[in-house]
Chains A and B, each alone.
Chain A
């Protein structure tokens, strides 16, 4: 019966363990490591393990930009579009430069599934602008030459 189901769900929400709930962001990071993004199944597994509903997990995950719901390339390039990067000839200029090299626009992934290009807000590298991140590595004081080096090195890695 639908009514019984609803009340059962309400009960399970009422007994959410705060200590488990507090692990949600960490659990989502771990789940995301599997495929580079959060699949429906991954979200469901996280919900099950932490005693939460799928919608609670999805609602929380979708709030945070570092959790992805779509597949991405092996290397996610995040170019800072903040004010200090802009004032230092970075931001869109870096986006365009990287995009032209890889043949993709922001939000796109190369056809070989290797690179995804994204724009991000301030990376707290204003003193060493322009800046971008590739996966968990931060690159600062970017120039066309240093971007060439970074991309060539990543292309060489298999």
Chain B
């Protein structure tokens, strides 16, 4: 198996990896020193040239997002998305718990580049250890002069605070997160205006995922050319793949984008349990379309997964072996989305509930052919017709599940 240099997860397995002393011992905050000597424009140019795209699911080019932030606005904010909740995804929790300074260094550099003097960390309420690690990291960074006024004598000021969510998946959506930071129900806002124009308290706001931010110090330190030499044409750099389900060695694997799904599953995650064969894979978290085993040679990159009819999403690979009941898989994912719907718009709120009812009947063996037809009709109707991407995310597993495994749904009906 080819060896890949660990970059994002280089520290996580060291003893006391969360401490600032450990982070400093292995070269931490040298990228910040370098960045503060660069102009903000030069940093943005470097991040643009690196080809880095957001790692939170949407895959938007990071440098372009930074460039959208108005240069002349007196007050701008940075919001740090630690609201990891997409089923199958567990990478952000690992970095926050084991290497919070790697994110914080990225936060400081990013804030400097976009000219923000205030950053807000939003973290899932369930991540109790993560909350503690964030707070400790921030307080140590203040003590070392990496936060506060006149950071390292550069004249740049930045304050960072931590805000706990309280159990709502939708708050991972950037405008819902902004609402929640303002102390409101986490209901997504209409876009446009995008947060870069009008975000937190109406001010230009950059919302960035934790893994994305953790890439920034490395890009600044080693250069865009190094970063963009890794990966594929449209998917540059490294990615943490969260592998779970029926594999021998589930876990987080940091690999170049473009690594084949097959290699991630068999070479890194130890293959499928009991030597069974694979029936289906969810390649990018629960909201990405399910693919069948014949797609296993697909490289894990934005463009190749799109061509395969699915998406990279958060890079959360859920492997399901030949014994898996796909109707139950689809039912379970749908139940998640129905539970997490914010209730703001009708297709997601009511349509989701109706789809779940059809799936409950089918899974229980009391469904009819009509349930399958109605389920498909509803999923098509919801797809692309909701206020935020959640409705489409809800429809994807159902539509792909029906496309690939319709026979299993029909079997459930026949059994009656």
Q: Which residues of A does B touch, CB under 8 Å?
A: 18, 21-26, 28-29, 59-60, 63-67, 81-84, 86-88, 120-129, 133, 136-138
Contact = CB atoms under 8 A, between A and B. Distances in A.
Contact of B332 (A26, A86, A138): A86
Interface string B105-128: 000000000000000000011111
Nearest to B90: A124
B87 A121 contact: yes
B88 interface: yes
A120 B335 CA distance: 11
24 contacts: A22-B183, A23-B183, A24-B183, A25-B164, A25-B166, A28-B166, A59-B185, A65-B168, A82-B87, A83-B87, A83-B88, A83-B329, A84-B245, A87-B245, A120-B126, A121-B85, A121-B336, A122-B86, A124-B85, A124-B93, A126-B245, A126-B250, A127-B242, A128-B250
A26 B163 contact: yes
Given A87-B246, A121-B336, A126-B316, A60 B184 contact: yes
A63 B85 contact: no
Contacts of B335: 81
A124 B163 contact: no
Given A82-B336, A86-B332, A63 B87 contact: no
A66 B252 CA distance: 27
Interface of B: 84-90, 92-93, 124-129, 163-169, 180-186, 201, 242-246, 250-252, 282, 286, 316, 318, 320, 324, 328-329, 332-333, 335-336, 339-340, 342
Contacts of B166: 25, 28-29, 64-67
Contacts of A133: 126
Contacts of A129: 244, 250
A1 to B, nearest CB: 31
Contacts of B318: 83-84, 87, 126
Contact of A126 (B125, B169, B244, B324): B244
A123 B183 CA distance: 23
A121 B169 contact: yes
Closest 6 CB pairs of A and B: A64-B166, A24-B183, A65-B167, A126-B244, A66-B167, A136-B128
A127 B94 CA distance: 11
A64 B167 contact: yes
Given A23-B183, A126-B318, A127-B250, A29 B164 contact: yes
A66 B167 CA distance: 5
Contacts of A64: 125, 165-168, 186
Given A81-B335, A127-B90, A127-B244, 13 more contacts: A21-B182, A26-B163, A28-B166, A64-B165, A67-B166, A86-B328, A121-B85, A122-B336, A123-B126, A124-B84, A124-B90, A124-B126, A126-B89
Contacts of A127: 90, 242-244, 250-252
A135 to B, nearest CB: 9
Given A87-B246, A129-B250, A124 B165 contact: no
Among A21, A29, A128, A136, the one with the most B-chain Cβ atoms within 10 Å of its Cβ is A136
A38 B251 CA distance: 37
Contacts of A126: 87-90, 242, 244-245, 250, 316, 318
Contacts of B182: 18, 21-22
A25 B129 CA distance: 18
B164 A124 contact: no
A125 B127 CA distance: 11
Contacts of B286: 83, 122
Given A64-B166, A87-B246, A87-B318, A124 B124 contact: yes
A55 to B, nearest CB: 12
Nearest to A22: B183
Contact of B127 (A25, A83, A84, A124): A124
A65 B167 CA distance: 5
Contact of B184 (A21, A125, A128, A137): A21
A17 to B, nearest CB: 10
B122 to A, nearest CB: 10
B244 A84 contact: yes
B361 to A, nearest CB: 18
Contacts of B336: 82-83, 121-122
A82 B243 CA distance: 14
Contacts of A29: 164, 166
